[in-house]
Chains A and B, each alone.
Chain A
Amino acid sequence: MTTLQVKNLCKDFRLRSGMKTSILSAVKDVSFELVPGRTIALVGQSGSGKSTVARMIAQLERPTSGEILLDGKPAATRGGGLKRYREEVQMVFQDPFASLNAFHRVGHHLERPIILHKIASGREAVRAKAIELLERVQLTPGEDYIDRRPHELSGGQRQRVAIARALAPSPSVLIADEPVSMLDVSIRLGVLNLLADLQRSENLGVLYITHDLATARHFSDHLMVMYKGEVVEEGTPDDVILHPQAEFTRKLTMAAPEPARNERFLRAAKNYPPRTQGSTAVEDQPRGVA
């Protein structure tokens, strides 16, 4: 049982334009706790800092202040400690077209983490383990996929390979940074269901980052809404979506096209704000809250 705890995480970026430097606070004071078997959804518009949170947890970016704790101990930032941290915390990237190196075969992407984290040793064993991983993400038979190059796969298949790569060191925490936003609507559900299945079977703690309230509601136990680097609202998904407290969350739920708004939705949410209130104010419109 490994819990990931994030305490008062902040990130400032220094912006240089000529002689002037200004500071952009991308993430302000974000805290949460990720328990195995639970999913936290992080929702917000573009530029709200959700991806920066993901990159800090994946140790691709150093936090300006705040702590990342794994089982109560501060996460190591280098050497063997970092390697052990990476064994527990893995990440799936947003764009499956960019997250696999076009130069290498599918096998390379899976075999490297297997070798690095000493999951298996010996050429045959490593390959067998990679095939097993492919089959775990429903790319069967794995032999058919392992020697292919990324460009020979579809977006959904690539994202499955990326998920398999993240699962290679058998992590206990998975950060999914908008894992389906680059995929066709028709295959989104398949990939999301796969993630949900894996979470159940591997007892993963998942941080699901998205701008899509609908999938966040479906796949998470806890929802956090970020706006301009700050968590403006959190709670159970139904609570947040049906009874939004913060102004931004209200706009977010309003911005979603909602065919059932007049009936079921309004009945469920009695204090629903009137339709006229800024229904087009959010630039990055999430798709369908249902």
Chain B
Amino acid sequence: MTSEIINDSSAIREEGVDDLIRPREPTSSDGRLKRLLTKKFIIGAVVVLAIVLFGVVGPFFSQDPRAINNIGLTPPSSQHLLGTTQIGADILAQLAYSTRGSLIVGVSVAALTLFLSAFFGILGAYIGGVVDDAFSLFTNVMLVIPGLPLVIVIASYIQNKSVFLVIIVLALTGWAAGARVLRSQTLSVRNRDYVLASRVSGEKTWRVIAVEILPNLLPVMSSGFVFSTLGAILAEAGLSFVGIGATGALTWGTMLSDASNGQALLFGAWWWFAPPGILIAILGAGLSLINFSLDEVINPRLRVHKMPKTEKKVTAS
């Protein structure tokens, strides 16, 4: 998911030494939490939280986003902090509702995606045999179907699409990659001794999966969740911009689509198209930052060792 280049060779050496001293010590979940709280993660989390807060609270304090006013297209003023659209609707209000709309789509699609990929990935890998063959064949088929064109076909076939439908369609086209990752991870975990030991203790299959295997997949799953939230928000924005998104919904995509139809670029109405675009970009950056730091915790090869400041100076000079 990420490609973080470690150009500091001493960091790698440091890790080697550490491996020698404590050869097989698995890291604790507490240690993982501590390592997660990097500068990257905190910046990403603050940005994402700010946008989520805006989407949750904003609509309660803003004006009616669909109110038509004959003042028409006006730049930001004290009355309309982000100006108005061609038909005089308050852009700040639209932005607040759109943020809420986009986030709902993103999170619901990610949740559905997670469920589907966990079902097909984990269950198939754990049970094995014919079930695994069938599940992974199905996953592979879903994986090679190009997502966006399929979404366009489905979305353009159905008139009067609700947000719910868009969520379903995006989830159905987006779960396969996550399922493959979870499948391979489960395959490696299912034959570890502690899973076998719990079977020898007499645990039921569902409990072995839920209590022994699932916790060890959590890092991968959370990173997948963040990734598919971002993917869903971008895909929904793309669909709405093309004009085949949910009808009548307010999302960042519909705002951009309206701005484009309303010749905002021609009139130089930056206050119309810039805010949703910027929010998409910032949210994307924030979620990616979170994902990078999650990845660094999960993938030991991406781990960068913190060195004492004095030592850093030595290597720099």
Report if A and B associate in a common complex: yes
Q: Contacts A83-B202, A101-B212, A103-B215 known; A151 to B196 CB distance under 8 Å?
A: no
Closest A residue by C-beta to B30: A149
The answer for the CA separation of A176 and B26 in the assembled complex, in Å, is: 24
Residue A117 CB within 8 A of the other chain: yes
| Distance from A281 Cβ to chain B, minimum over Cβ atoms (Å) | 30
Contact with B along A170-207 (1 / 0, CB 8 A): 00000000000000000000000000000000000000
Q: Which of chain B's residues 195-234 have a Cβ closer than 8 Å to chain A? A: 195-203, 211-212, 215-216
* In-complex Cβ contact of B197 among A87, A151, A165 (8 A): A165
Residue A25 CB within 8 A of the other chain: no
Asked if B203 and A90 make an inter-chain contact with CB atoms under 8 angstroms apart, the answer reads: no
Which residues on B sit within 8 Å (CB–CB) of A151? 25-28
Q: Is the interface of B mostly helix, strand, loop or mixed?
A: helix
Asked if A93 and B193 make an inter-chain contact with CB atoms under 8 angstroms apart, the answer reads: yes
* In-complex Cβ contact of B26 among A94, A102, A104 (8 A): A102
Asked if B28 and A99 make an inter-chain contact with CB atoms under 8 angstroms apart, the answer reads: no
Which residues on A sit within 8 Å (CB–CB) of B28? 102, 149, 151
Interface size class of A (residues with CB under 8 A): 20 to 34
Q: Contacts A149-B28, A151-B25, A151-B28 known; A100 to B199 CB distance under 8 Å?
A: no
Asked if B201 and A112 make an inter-chain contact with CB atoms under 8 angstroms apart, the answer reads: yes
The answer for the CA separation of A100 and B196 in the assembled complex, in Å, is: 10
Closest B residue by C-beta to A93: B193
Which residues on A sit within 8 Å (CB–CB) of B197? 91, 93, 99-100, 109, 162, 165
Residue A58 CB within 8 A of the other chain: yes
Asked if B194 and A86 make an inter-chain contact with CB atoms under 8 angstroms apart, the answer reads: no
Residue B192 CB within 8 A of the other chain: yes
Which residues on B sit within 8 Å (CB–CB) of A66? none
The answer for the CA separation of A150 and B212 in the assembled complex, in Å, is: 14
The answer for the CA separation of A121 and B29 in the assembled complex, in Å, is: 30
Which residues on B sit within 8 Å (CB–CB) of A60? 196, 199-200
Residue B24 CB within 8 A of the other chain: yes
Asked if B200 and A90 make an inter-chain contact with CB atoms under 8 angstroms apart, the answer reads: yes
* In-complex Cβ contact of B192 among A58, A98, A162 (8 A): A98
Number of interface residues of B (CB under 8 A): 22
Asked if A58 and B201 make an inter-chain contact with CB atoms under 8 angstroms apart, the answer reads: no
The answer for the CA separation of A86 and B29 in the assembled complex, in Å, is: 31
Residue A97 CB within 8 A of the other chain: yes
Q: Which of chain A's residues 133-183 have a Cβ closer than 8 Å to chain B? A: 149-151, 162, 165-166, 168-169
Q: Which of chain A's residues 80-117 have a Cβ closer than 8 Å to chain B? A: 82-83, 86-87, 90-91, 93-95, 97-104, 109, 112-113, 116-117
* In-complex Cβ contact of B216 among A100, A103, A117 (8 A): A103
The answer for the CA separation of A60 and B193 in the assembled complex, in Å, is: 11
Which residues on B sit within 8 Å (CB–CB) of A150? 26
The answer for the CA separation of A66 and B202 in the assembled complex, in Å, is: 23
Asked if B203 and A99 make an inter-chain contact with CB atoms under 8 angstroms apart, the answer reads: no
The answer for the CA separation of A176 and B234 in the assembled complex, in Å, is: 55
Asked if A100 and B200 make an inter-chain contact with CB atoms under 8 angstroms apart, the answer reads: no
* In-complex Cβ contact of A86 among B195, B202, B212, B215 (8 A): B202
Asked if B202 and A93 make an inter-chain contact with CB atoms under 8 angstroms apart, the answer reads: no
Across the A-B interface, give the 6 residue pairs with the lowest CB-CB distance, nearest first: A99-B193, A98-B193, A101-B194, A103-B215, A113-B201, A102-B26
Q: 8 interchain pairs (CB within 8 A)?
A: A60-B199, A93-B196, A98-B193, A100-B197, A103-B29, A112-B203, A151-B28, A165-B197
List 10 additional contacts besides A97-B26, A104-B215; criterion CB under 8 Å. Answer: A60-B200, A83-B202, A86-B200, A98-B192, A99-B194, A116-B202, A149-B28, A150-B26, A151-B28, A165-B201
